[in-house]
Amino acid sequence: MKEELFELLLRLADDQLVLGHRVSEWCGHAPTLEEDLALPNIALDLIGQARSLYTYAGEIEGKGRDEDQLAYLRLEHDYHNLLLVERPNGDFAQTILRQLYFSVFMHAWWREATKSKDETLAAIAAKAVKEAIYHVRHAAEWTIRLGDGTEESARRMADAVNELYRFTGELFETDEVTDKLAAAGIVPDPASLRDEWDRTIAEIFAEAQLEMPDPETWQHKGGRKGVHGEEMGFLLADLQYMQRAYPGMTW
């Protein structure tokens, strides 16, 4: 199942890299000094996870591509990240909700992946799950603070909930890749994490005085197949600039 594992690793790495880049855009622009430190640190966690996953993906592929080539030298439709993570930052409320939705899912995913029969993936997950705990706590605290805050902050959080919920269904999407790997005990079935995610989000929303969206809300899909919104092209133009302008450079 090398092809399926390579595809799964790319999906995970693309998720972390693209969201890490989005979060890093707040550096120097966050609403408080503390957040100007916290958000870039979360971005570094995500990019570090992406690097580990890309490195392993390159080994599985066996074509000599390293993490830099996989991260920075592919075309837009070759990225198979969730649509959620490429969404523009918007205001601070939207950034926090995007992080909450994603981090709650990834915390559960990484936790289950520590049991993987693939020792390398299990080791990556063991480190990542510790970072995800902080990501959830950070996003949850801000969600509660803003949702149960001023009239303005509550309105912005409610708007963020409605704007981003329609991108969350893709978190739990399954296909032949996930089915085969889950059956082999290599990765968790994303659909199996839905109930836990719903409960956790509902608990946080209750404390934040936010209403859970209608679960029947129409959901955007396509990211896993390389179908992206127009924002993705602009994101990659920024993300890939240094590697394309100065080919072969390394950190």
Q: Which CATH number fits domain 2-211+224-245: 1.20.1260.10, 3.60.21.10, 1.10.10.10, 3.90.1150.10?
A: 1.20.1260.10
3-state secondary structure of 78: helix
CB 164 within 8 A of CB 118: no
Residue 68 CA to residue 72 CA, distance in Å, equals 6
Residue-wise pLDDT for 133-170, tens only, equals 999 999 999 999 999 999 999 999 999 999 999 999 99
Query: Residue written as tokens 């090398």?
Result: 2
pLDDT of 249 > 90? The answer is: no
Query: Residue written as tokens 């430190």?
Result: 37
Question: What is the reported pTM?
Answer: 0.96
Residue-wise pLDDT for 61-100, tens only, equals 999 999 999 999 999 999 999 999 999 999 999 999 999 9
pLDDT mean over 125-140: 98
CB 104 within 8 A of CB 201: yes
pLDDT mean over 196-219: 97
How many alpha carbons lie under 13 Å from residue 112 in its C-beta half-sphere? 16
pLDDT mean over 19-48: 95
b/e sequence 14-37, b meaning 16+ C-beta within 10 Å: bbbbbbbbbbbbbeeebeeeebee
Q: Which two tokens stand for residue 153?
A: 């902050």
Portion of the chain with pLDDT greater than 90, in percent: 95
pLDDT of 251 > 70? The answer is: no
The residue type found at 140 is A
